[in-house]
Amino acid sequence: MPRKKEVVSGNFVKYDAVVLGSGPAGEGAAMKLAKSGKRVAIVDIREQLGGNCTHVGTIPSKALRQTVSSIIRYQRDPMFKKVGDWKQFTMKQVLRNAHKVIQQQVDTHSRFYDRNNIDVFHGRAYIQDKNTVIIFSEDGIKETLGFKQLVVATGSRPYHPQGLDFNHPRVFDSDKILDLDFTIHKIIIYGAGVIGCEYASIFIGLDHKVDLINTQHQLLSYLDDEIADALSYHLREQGVLIRHNEQIDHLETFDDHVVLYLQSGKKIKADAILWCNGRSGNTDGMGLENVGLTPNSRGQLAVNDQYQTEVENVYAAGDVVGWPSLASAAYDQGRCAGSNMAGEKDVKPVKDIPTGIYTIPEISFFGKTESQLTEEKIPYEVGQASFRHLARAQITGDTVGELKILFHRDTLELLGVHCFGNNAAEIIHIGQAVMQSGNNTIKYFVETTFNYPTMAEAYRVATLNGMNRLF
Ligand SMILES: Cc1cc2nc3c(=O)[nH]c(=O)nc-3n(C[C@H](O)[C@H](O)[C@H](O)COP(=O)(O)OP(=O)(O)OC[C@H]3O[C@@H](n4cnc5c(N)ncnc54)[C@H](O)[C@@H]3O)c2cc1C
């Protein structure tokens, strides 16, 4: 049973800590604080918990991507082809599965708050002063909460440039695309960051035409060059038209199509446009000025290594503090903030994080790239394992992909792990675990017996491949 709220006077409730936002950062902080014996409340605008991560970000996009992968797998498998004809699925059809997963996630996370006696409030939070937050419902003031400490974990939203009308039915951002309810054949995706590339995979997988407009000269330039090249190659091979180094001039909207004019003089017609260029922190209109905090031009708050803002009793975590703007890190940042707030000593801030990109094929890496090691003049060697030679990949049919390990040629220390192909985001964690352990040389992969057949075998194959290069 949830603990009863302590009502101090009227509708004023006092807490040790109030957390604003129930995404992964808010949840991480709230759970840690509750486990440390603090009286905690969490506030979210939505009627359901889980944050943007669950409702419009990580979860729906990954559920969508999974359904599209299954469709692709079904359609390429000659055995299934005999069973049924090739079918085209619409975005609306595949979204049904995503909505089911969202509800399952909401239910799971809601139980965590119940179990940990965390009071949940729904409404827009406004910080009145250093110890008071007001929660507004749509029809006026709802509740006033007192706090000793505050966590701002209000996340981020898609950036909307001036001049684009996101109320037009054919102009989408990554939140609105989940409500797409009409059939399209061609879409322009503006912005080729992680979200743009992931949605390019989803739409091309549904057999739509995709123009991916990249404002940079290559896709995801922080990736190892070989992996970025592989991503470009496979997206193009599937039919995505990638246009690099382009900038929007303006967009014309019509009842049944849009036309994008680029500064280079090109014009592109499509059924719809999905804008994936940048995100802003959710900090406006929430009274931060009342405690003396000013977000930067992207709406983000500055924090120190403890996730504490310039105001002693106000902490912030997740997308609202900027880097790395990932759900994976947001949870740990929130937890870290909670630990510091509870007075724990020597809490390490979130630093070394893996990158997982759920394009088709999937991409993941941890550690350094070849360019970084070359620039740092570290004598490294490369070990490669192509998925097409692995028994497990041949069995599952997931033969597109590669694991590449980078290691010091003298000490054999593992320096970087880069993978593309199905389940890359899972496979990478073996390399990450080894890199962060006391036994961080590639000898681990040849002195340890792994299950067979597995994709993990790629580590052994890549190690042997790399060792053959040593002399
Ligand atoms: C399409 C897409 C795909 C993504 N895929 C991945 C992925 O595969 N892996 C990954 O790690 N990350 C992914 N991300 C990023 C990930 O979703 C975010 O990093 C994560 O959601 C950030 O969590 P958060 O807790 O900071 O905030 P959020 O999840 O943004 O939640 C913040 C909550 O605070 C609420 N809020 C805002 N203002 C107020 C207020 N004034 N009062 C009360 N409540 C308020 C919001 O309504 C929201 O519910 C993706 C993002 C997008 C958009």
Among the candidates 277, 308, 334, a domain finishes at 277
The Cα 172–Cα 169 span in angstroms is 8
Report the relative pairing of strands 401-408 and 414-421 from DSSP bridges: antiparallel
Percent of the chain, pLDDT > 70? 96
Can you give the CATH number for the domain in which 428 is found?
Answer: 3.30.390.30
Let me know if residue 355 belongs to a domain: no
Let me know if residue 185 belongs to a domain: yes
**Least confident interval from 2-6, 47-51, 57-61, 238-242:** 2-6
The verdict on whether residue 23 carries a ligand-binding annotation is no
Can you give the CATH number for the domain in which 231 is found?
Answer: 3.50.50.60
Geometric angle at alpha carbon 242, from 174 and 86, rounded to 5°: 75
444-457 tens-digit pLDDT: 999 999 999 999 99
Let me know if residue 1 belongs to a domain: no
User: How far is residue 340 CA from its own chain's centroid?
Assistant: 25
| Owning domain of residue 231 | 171-277
334 and 231 fall within a common domain: no
User: How far is residue 68 CA from its own chain's centroid?
Assistant: 18
pLDDT value for 83:
67
22 and 140 fall within a common domain: yes
Task: Give me the chain's average pLDDT, please.
Answer: 94
223 and 83 fall within a common domain: no
Let me know if residue 351 belongs to a domain: no
Mean pLDDT for 311-340 is 98
17 and 134 fall within a common domain: yes
216-247 tens-digit pLDDT: 999 999 999 999 999 999 999 999 999 999 99
Let me know if residue 2 belongs to a domain: no
20 and 152 fall within a common domain: yes
Residues contacting residue 173 through CB under 8 Å, at least 6 positions apart: 158, 160, 166, 274, 275, 276
26 and 121 fall within a common domain: yes
Lining residues, ligand 1, CB within 6 Å: 20-26, 43-46, 51-53, 57-58, 61-62, 124-125, 153-156, 174, 195, 282, 286, 318-320, 325-328, 330, 356, 358
Q: Which of 2, 284, 305, 30 is nearest to 160 (CA)?
A: 284
The Cα 103–Cα 300 span in angstroms is 29
The verdict on whether residue 276 carries a ligand-binding annotation is no
2-16 tens-digit pLDDT: 444 444 444 677 999
61 and 131 fall within a common domain: yes
381 and 323 fall within a common domain: no
Give, for ligand 1, the residue of 102, 179, 282, 423 to mutate: max count of ligand atoms closer than 8 Å to Cβ.
282
| Token pair recorded at residue 76 | 């390429």
259 and 324 fall within a common domain: no
297 and 380 fall within a common domain: no
Q: List residues bridging with 403 in a β-sheet.
A: 385, 419
Let me know if residue 401 belongs to a domain: yes
User: Beta-carbon neighbour count of residue 332 at 10 Å?
Assistant: 20
Q: Which atom of ligand 1 is nearest to the CA of 156?
A: 30
Name the domain count of the chain. 3
88 and 177 fall within a common domain: no
The model's pTM is 0.94
The Cα 430–Cα 463 span in angstroms is 13
